[in-house]
Structure 1
Amino acid sequence: MATIRDVSKLAGVSVATVSRVLNRSGYVHEETERKVLRAIKELSYTPNFVARSLSNKKTSTIGLMVPDITNPFFPELARAVEDVMQLYGYTTILGNSDESVEKEKQYVEVLKQRYIDGVILASTALTADEVHKFGVPVVVLDRALTSDTIPMVTSKNREGAREATRFLLAQGCRKIAHLRGPAQLLNADERCQGYLDIVEQTDWFHPGLVVAGNYEMKQATDATLALLKKYPDIDGIFAGNDMMAIGALRAAQILGISIPDKLAIVGYDGITMGEVVYPELTTMAQPIYDMGALAARMLIKMIEKQPLDTLYYELDVQLIERGTTRKV
């Protein structure tokens, strides 16, 4: 069984440095931290956090709240959170809120009774004031709140939506619709606004081209069927997430519309499911793993009472071209 000395030897650092990385105490250079974490993983080293938990009354347990475990985006996010938490000796408890405010509140109360050390919220049915009352460190992930005091990790939603819409115009699309997410979510509003920033400058746009898919495949399929029957000249769709984009793809196939020759589709997220549908989905990909890992590291710093470099991270997104758009 590997020891802390084995880790220090493999990483080429002192035992004291390994200890600082594990305990999040004192300054450790970022590259040094990466070396230590790689050594821990390579040696399958398991730190003994029992003594530390007894002395500081911590449980080394955090809660992760997601809104819809059936959406592949959130398991991919959860994997990153769990990977980082496990490296630092923390256990992650997963809760699925089903977009319900009441269910989310119930989960929070249960987690607090278990004396968790902190919470990562990828589901924000709650308000900022309600989050402030948790009594433990909180990091909001993906679904940002309107708050200047709660740490958050998200992506450049509005900028990514603009790029996706411009890309569809560059494809030759002349009437682009938008499948938007739930009205109460800030990231859905930002993606919709990014779309509007581009299309409101055209002579063909009207509000009827924006329809709700609520981030769900079935709702998006039904909404797209109605949309394409009402406006058969639509030749482009920007969906606010990949699940809705896949729903739009399904609707087009039901109607016998050729993809991408007659209709181009771009999603948002970059989930792996987009690679297994046919045609494969063009998407604005978020750095899903990086977002989850960053949120986990922020929460650990807060739990260990270490200062954060910043309270807000907005990560870049990347257009990934696949089969639902044309090669130009």
Structure 2
Amino acid sequence: MATIKDVAEKAQVSVTTVSRVLNNRGYISQATREKVFRIMKEMNYQPNEIARSLMRKRSMMLGMIIPTIAHPFFGELAYHIENYASSLGYKMLICNSRMNQRKEKEYIDMLKSNRVDGIIMGSHTLDVSEYIQLQQPIVTLDRRIADIPYVSSDNYRGGVLAAELLIRKGCRKIAHICGNLSLDLLGNLRSESFLDMLQKNDIETVVIELGTDVFESEDYENMITRLFEDHPDLDGLFASSDMIAANVIKVCASLGIAVPERLKLIGYDNIQFAALTNPALTTISQPLEEMGILAVDLIDKLVSGEQVGMEHILPVTLIERSST
């Protein structure tokens, strides 16, 4: 197996020059750079990444812990994060916690042992002290944990936009399906503002809270069916995710409830398939690509020793389609 010394000898340069080419440091002429890369390719030279990371004191690896990559929202967000991180030279280790404390703790320990430069947390089940004790760069997504920097969309504004649209459409009895509101999640602000708006406008409201694992849709259909059986006069519904809203469309089709003629429906997230449902889903759009890029930029700055602010909230937009 070729070594860095072998490459240097064949290229007729010093080992230091080859090292500078590999690490993109110092001035190296374009001709020398191209020659070194050509020799490395000819000799099938593979840099020792462990040695390089020790030299740089950075592994150029990031960890990401999310509830499940099988959920389209987290799948799309993870795509944008990995894509941008890769452009900066980072590799990603993506972990599914399934909102399980044991799994999350095991993944955090694994990421530490793999010397990742930082962790992006989209899951939060452990005691706050566990995250503080990590003593390494962390950025959270839609979660506020102690003094850890976080990235979020404007959930409060999202709830207001949803309420205003349903009120404008003339809805008088509106259901809201959301996650567990007892959990300390920034996403609950969309429910808080939505329900506040309905109360101020004296509109009858039905609230359905899901369990802690709101990312699996196995029980959605039964729950939504019971909702319409108990409240056949519903004329509006705001779901706290597009996945929940898609299940509402499916149940409405089976029960003969016309959307939007009889029921106006709004989702949240604007994941790609929201435009593909029948009818196409009106939704509150989170800027997933921008959120992913910002999370990576914050981690990169923290790894470099820079100071960053704690709160990073990006604007949401109403995307009106056929379901309203």
Q: Does TM, scored on the shorter chain, surpass 0.5? A: yes
Residues 248-275 of structure 1 deviation map (CA, whole Å, 9 limit, x = unaligned): 1112112110011000110010100212
State how far apart, in whole Å, the 2-side matches of 1:193 and 1:49 are.
52
Aligned-pair identity (%): 34
State how far apart, in whole Å, the 2-side matches of 1:228 and 1:277 are.
20
Give the aligned partner of residue 297 of structure 2: 297
Per-residue deviation at 1:217? 3.2
Give the aligned partner of residue 219 of structure 1: 219
Give the aligned partner of residue 166 of structure 1: 164
Per-residue deviation at 1:63? 0.3
Q: Any conservation in 2 of the 1:173–1:235 contact (CA below 8 Å)?
A: yes
User: Relative to 1, partners in 2 of residues 1:216 and 1:104: Cα closer, same or farther, differing over 3 Å?
Assistant: same
Counterpart mapping for 1:79-228 below 5 A = 79-141=79-141, 143-147=142-146, 149-183=147-181, 184-206=183-205, 209-213=206-210, 214-228=214-228
State how far apart, in whole Å, the 2-side matches of 1:212 and 1:222 are.
14
Per-residue deviation at 1:146? 4.6
State how far apart, in whole Å, the 2-side matches of 1:268 and 1:224 are.
17
Q: Any conservation in 2 of the 1:180–1:215 contact (CA below 8 Å)?
A: no
Counterpart mapping for 1:280-291 below 5 A = 280-291=280-291
Letter in 2 for 1:259: V
Per-residue deviation at 1:221? 2.5
State how far apart, in whole Å, the 2-side matches of 1:324 and 1:185 are.
30
State how far apart, in whole Å, the 2-side matches of 1:167 and 1:49 are.
57
Tell me, what secondary structure is at the counterpart of 1:268? strand
Q: Any conservation in 2 of the 1:66–1:121 contact (CA below 8 Å)?
A: yes
State how far apart, in whole Å, the 1-side matches of 2:196 and 2:92 are.
39
Letter in 2 for 1:277: T
Give the aligned partner of residue 13 of structure 2: none
State how far apart, in whole Å, the 2-side matches of 1:127 and 1:168 are.
38
Q: Which runs of 5+ in 1 are unaligned?
A: 1-18, 24-47
State how far apart, in whole Å, the 1-side matches of 2:48 and 2:281 are.
44
Q: Any conservation in 1 of the 2:144–2:186 contact (CA below 8 Å)?
A: no
Per-residue deviation at 1:127? 3.7
Residues 131-154 of structure 1 deviation map (CA, whole Å, 9 limit, x = unaligned): 11223210001x21253x101000
Q: Any conservation in 2 of the 1:215–1:240 contact (CA below 8 Å)?
A: no
Give the aligned partner of residue 278 of structure 1: 278
TM-score, scaled relative to structure 2: 0.80
Give the aligned partner of residue 67 of structure 2: 67
Per-residue deviation at 1:215? 4.6
Letter in 2 for 1:193: E
Tell me, what secondary structure is at the counterpart of 1:267? strand
Residues 197-241 of structure 1 deviation map (CA, whole Å, 9 limit, x = unaligned): 1111244425xx100243543333322211111111101100111
Q: Which has the larger radius of gyration?
A: 2
Letter in 1 for 2:124: T
Q: Any conservation in 2 of the 1:237–1:266 contact (CA below 8 Å)?
A: yes
Tell me, what secondary structure is at the counterpart of 1:314? strand
Counterpart mapping for 1:36-47 below 5 A = none
TM-score, scaled relative to structure 1: 0.79
Matched, 1:307 2:304: no
Letter in 1 for 2:287: P
Per-residue deviation at 1:185? 4.6
Deviating more after overlay: 187-196 vs 265-274:
187-196
Q: Any conservation in 2 of the 1:128–1:146 contact (CA below 8 Å)?
A: yes
Letter in 2 for 1:211: I
